[in-house]
């Protein structure tokens, strides 16, 4: 490796990066999936309604890619069904197939009970999300900080509402807290909090995996295995972004079908260690060691073979090793000099 200038990306460059397109799409498909899932379960979308990618994408203000992905996931959950025609049908509440109903797809037909949150927002939303996530994940290494909503809105050229909404999402991931005085607070990153997050994940992720496993699609697992094989064969090609993508595949996508949403929310709340690792790999421009990648592969192979017991124990083993590795990496961060943080990241108290 010739160049090892350690760089911690701040909000400004992350905001406009093209390399994050995949991530935007991933977040978008989840928004779409979540919305449709809620609406179908609540009976707000009439069974039999034929959903087509194009019109749904227009309603959400996105491309067809995230809509296709959301449809596939809803299909694997049994909420959408294929039929002898283009698109998907909305299943009956009991999962059976109704007669196809071809009707114009409007906001009302898709169960929006209010004019949709400006779903032309996702790109901006994701841009702001990435910017604030980066700022917070860098700041917490260096102490305890308050995020100034107005300054953030000013710096990122968006409304305070958008900033607030984004910070709420970061709170759901356990990266930020809201104090009793309504301050948004983050950090400090400690070995104790990392260890506690891992303890929680060791308890919950295997359970979530067991619940999600029956719904995992062969194609998705095959793609995930191909991706990890590629990473093992070419570890030098795995940068911080790529590693985060691999982590998301295993620790988010493979668990996503668990029926217990509260369980998944709690797991997501304990994902701060992923942020530590991302900060570590980005700061030192490193590539993951073989152990991490091989543990991922072992879990995915068990899932592919339908062996959920071994998959769950391999996941537990991976998280245990991950805890050790992450705590070691956290010590290394101690050598980093304090960087200039964005103005909206204010030392607290």
User: Which of 193, 182, 207, 165 has its CA nearest to residue 309?
Assistant: 207
- Rounded to an integer, what distance in angstroms lies between the CA atom of residue 63 and that of residue 73? 17
Q: Which of 103, 222, 226, 332 binds other proteins (CB under 8 A)?
A: 332
12 binds other proteins (CB under 8 A): yes
**Nearer to other proteins (CB atom), residue 62 or residue 282:** 282
Q: Give the length of the chain.
A: 349
- Rounded to an integer, what distance in angstroms lies between the CA atom of residue 163 and that of residue 330? 28
**Nearer to other proteins (CB atom), residue 129 or residue 280:** 280
338 binds other proteins (CB under 8 A): yes
Burial class (CB in 10 A: 0-12, 13-18, 19+), 204: buried
- Rounded to an integer, what distance in angstroms lies between the CA atom of residue 60 and that of residue 62? 6
119 binds other proteins (CB under 8 A): no
CB of 149 to other proteins, least distance (A): 21
User: Which of 290, 299, 283, 300 has its CA nearest to residue 325?
Assistant: 290
Residues 6+ apart with CB under 8 A from 176: 136, 147, 167, 170, 184, 185, 186
175 binds other proteins (CB under 8 A): no
What six digits make up the tokens of 300?
């995915």
Listed ranges 41-49, 100-108, 214-222, 283-291: which one lies at the site for other proteins (CB under 8 A): 283-291
| Residue whose token pair is 């194009």 | 54
What six digits make up the tokens of 175?
């990266």
What six digits make up the tokens of 216?
């995992």
Q: Which of 2, 96, 180, 182 binds other proteins (CB under 8 A)?
A: 2
Task: Say if CB 152 and CB 137 are below 8 A apart.
Answer: no
Listed ranges 6-14, 101-109, 117-125, 149-157: which one lies at the site for other proteins (CB under 8 A): 6-14
Q: Which of 56, 89, 138, 299 binds other proteins (CB under 8 A)?
A: 138
- Rounded to an integer, what distance in angstroms lies between the CA atom of residue 344 and that of residue 204? 35
142 binds other proteins (CB under 8 A): yes
16 binds other proteins (CB under 8 A): no
**Count, residues near other proteins per rule CB under 8 A:** 42
- Rounded to an integer, what distance in angstroms lies between the CA atom of residue 33 and that of residue 253? 13
Return the number of other C-beta atoms located less than 10 Å from residue 26's C-beta.
19
User: Which of 78, 82, 76, 87 has its CA nearest to residue 51?
Assistant: 87
Task: Say if CB 340 and CB 138 are below 8 A apart.
Answer: no
CB of 135 to other proteins, least distance (A): 9
**Nearer to other proteins (CB atom), residue 11 or residue 213:** 11
177 binds other proteins (CB under 8 A): no
293 binds other proteins (CB under 8 A): no
224 binds other proteins (CB under 8 A): no
Listed ranges 97-105, 185-193, 218-226, 295-303: which one lies at the site for other proteins (CB under 8 A): 185-193
CB of 239 to other proteins, least distance (A): 15
CB of 162 to other proteins, least distance (A): 23
7 binds other proteins (CB under 8 A): yes
CB of 323 to other proteins, least distance (A): 12
CB of 53 to other proteins, least distance (A): 38
Q: Which of 54, 188, 214, 306 binds other proteins (CB under 8 A)?
A: 188
**Chain contacts with other proteins (rule: CB under 8 A):** 1-2, 4-10, 12-13, 138, 141-143, 188-192, 283-284, 286, 289, 291, 324-325, 327-341
């Amino acid at each position: 490796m010739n160049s090892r200038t350690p760089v911690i990306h701040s909000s400004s460059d992350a905001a406009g990066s093209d390399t994050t397109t995949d991530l935007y799409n991933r977040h978008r498909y989840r928004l779409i999936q979540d919305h449709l899932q809620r609406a179908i379960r609540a009976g707000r979308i009439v069974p039999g309604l034929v959903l087509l990618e194009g019109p749904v994408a227009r309603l959400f203000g996105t491309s067809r890619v995230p809509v296709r992905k959301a449809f596939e996931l809803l299909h694997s959950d049994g909420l959408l069904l294929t039929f002898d025609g283009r698109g998907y049908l909305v299943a009956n509440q009991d999962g059976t197939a109704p007669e196809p109903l071809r009707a114009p797809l409007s906001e009302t037909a898709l169960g929006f009970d209010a004019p949709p949150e400006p779903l032309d927002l996702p790109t901006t939303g994701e841009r702001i999300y990435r910017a604030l996530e980066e700022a917070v994940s860098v700041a917490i290494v260096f102490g305890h900080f308050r995020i100034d909503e107005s300054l953030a809105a000013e710096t990122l050229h968006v409304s305070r509402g958008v900033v607030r909404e984004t910070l709420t999402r970061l709170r759901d991931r356990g990266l930020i807290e809201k104090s009793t005085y309504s301050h948004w607070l983050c950090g400090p990153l400690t070995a104790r909090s990392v260890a506690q997050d891992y303890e929680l994940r060791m308890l919950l992720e295997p359970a979530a995996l067991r619940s999600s496993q029956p719904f995992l699609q062969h194609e998705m697992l095959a793609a995930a295995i191909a991706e990890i094989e590629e990473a093992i064969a070419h570890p030098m090609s795995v940068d911080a972004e790529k590693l985060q993508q691999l982590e998301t595949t295993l620790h988010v996508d493979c668990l996503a079908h668990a029926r217990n949403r509260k369980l998944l929310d709690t797991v997501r709340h304990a994902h701060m260690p992923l942020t530590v690792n991302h900060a570590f790999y980005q700061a030192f421009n490193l590539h993951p060691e073989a152990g991490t990648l091989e543990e991922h592969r072992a879990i995915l192979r068990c899932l592919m073979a339908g062996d959920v017991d071994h998959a769950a124990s391999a996941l537990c083993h991976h998280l245990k090793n991950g805890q050790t590795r992450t705590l070691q990496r956290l010590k290394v961060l101690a050598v980093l000099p304090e960087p200039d943080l964005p103005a909206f990241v204010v030392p607290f108290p």
